[in-house]
Amino acid sequence: MTYTAPVKDMLFTMKELAGLDTVAALPGFEDANLDTAQAVLEESAKLCGEVLAPLNVEGDRNPSSWRDGNVTATPGFRDAFRQFAEGGWQGVQHPVDYEGQGLPKLIGTACIEMLNASNLSFALCPLLTDGAIEALLTAGTEAQKQTYVPKLISGEWTGTMNLTEPQAGSDLALVRTRAEPQGDGSYRLFGTKIFITWGEHDMAENIVHLVLARTPDAPEGVKGISLFIVPKFIVNEDGTAGERNDVHCVSIEHKLGIKASPTAVLQFGDHGGAVGHLIGEENRGLEYMFIMMNAARFAVGMQGVGVSDRAYQKAAAYAKERVQSRPVDGSAKQSVSIIHHPDVRRMLATMRALTEGSRALAYVAAAHCDIAHRHADAAKRAEHQAIYEFLVPVVKGWSTELSLEVTSLGVQVHGGMGFIEETGAAQYYRDARILPIYEGTTAIQANDLIGRKTVRDGGAVAKALLADVAQTIEALGRHEGAAFRSMKRYLEQGHRSLAAAVDFVVANTKTDPNAVFAGSVPYLKLAGIVLGGWQMARALQVAAQKQSEDPSFYGAKIATAQFFAEHVLPQATALEASIVTAKGGEGVLALAEDQF
């Protein structure tokens, strides 16, 4: 079974929940209406379904390979990347001034979901290139932008992000790669970087490495880190790729999943130093790298949504075909397909509800980002930027954590055959396992959500969102029906739980940080469940109004919202208890180090 992009659900989410019409009214986005979105999504769906999805299994069975410093991509990937690049897909949401298409992030987000659903390993290459483009557009000189960004958007070149070193994982204060200034304004870099996604490959003419390093007089810690452009091939004055730079891939990793994506160990400066150029100012590298990281974190959240949808599609198709056992209600004398069994329905409904909830929250976040960049009013831009920044760790953390549950359920629906590689269900599970780890673990996202996004403003953004949720709860009470009763009841409970958790975090972070941060991941999950449930409640209202237009589609929306209300939202109360009632730090820290 290949992948069929859920274009109809994506367009529903964009229009009814994320406010595509509002985004299309922003300066510069006037052409980004529903017709444009539909045309773009349908073309993206063709590429992803017909070209990229069939290569997913091939990438798992025949991963990228390293030999003598060179990496060869999985057979078929190079040609697929050419088609991706020539179709203009790298530039969907990048500026027209640099040969991009200049479409909203909201439309780009749906394309990114499809890309990741069809082929997670392949999608990582454009993901890192997007991050490099964002960093250069924000902090690069005009000459650097003109030299690198059009080539990155065209797919002639790709980009990477070089943070991690053998001794420095998430703690970037320990970065030791050094950059020595030369008389001509360039630098020579020396050091080793690990976990560099698509750090070496044969799909593009050049690879543009963005590298964190220290200059000789830099202060210790994160305040002394600078960001450099270090291309694989030094760029000539006419903008073409020239002689080989002193950066080499010394190995690639053997991994649990995403096997087609080469994870490189890069050595800088074995033969006199890798030539690099400073981006922005010295010692502000971490600030610039966070631009890349925020773009990448949101995109990894979309990987969680995409792989969840792919696993759901496969499990649903299998459940309709696999005949096993008679129905428990005695409605048939012979064995039936397993989709007739209540627990299989429960698993499939869980997969579907979590996928739709996380998709909706991510698309809404993307729309806030668009408004933050394009609204005419500076105060409105700041307001929406704050909401977007609050939602990024939730999108990244919650969407990737739930992808483990969804892809695991996908294996479970297949039963014993799910454990057999030939069905393909296990690949989604293995591929998803990295998502809560890279680009900042779930704990790092949760710490960010607490420290920078909740405590710093006294919970202002969180409480503003809760006020919006309360308005939706009030509106639910004006409707009849079981779905509305369930949603009102459980979203109300979730709202109380999240409000209590926000108050606890704001009140106790400074006085009892261990108690708060011991519950940081439950706090992130609580935020995801309640805010995702809020989007499902909004979808329920629209679906009820429009059900007569398309009974099957909108009826499924209503049923999925009811399931989310009754089976996902009740988890909020338990999460609140682990954060607030139990003051989670006591139990977490009760065991002494030598008792583990």
Q: How far apart are CA 279 and CA 144, in angstroms?
A: 8
Sorted by sequence, the CB contacts under 8 Å of residue 486 that are 6+ apart come out as: 562, 565, 566
The pair of structure tokens assigned to 301 is 């959240």
Kindly give the residue spans of alpha helices, DSSP state H, lying in 415-481.
425-432, 442-450, 460-476
CA dist 416 and 26 (Å) reads 52
49 phi and psi, to 5 degrees? -75, -40
User: Quick one: tokens of 62?
Assistant: 């025949």
Beta bridge partners of 440: none
Choice among 439, 549, 566, 593 that is catalytic: 439
End-to-end Cα spacing for the chain = 45
Other Cβ atoms less than 10 A from the Cβ of 202: the count is: 14
Cβ-based burial of 67 (10 A; exposed 0-12, middle 13-18, buried ≥19)? exposed
439 is catalytic: yes
* Token pair belonging to 39: 């045309």
* Rounded-to-integer distance, Cα 67 and Cα 72, Å: 8
315 in Cβ contact with 413 (< 8 Å): yes
Active site residues: 439
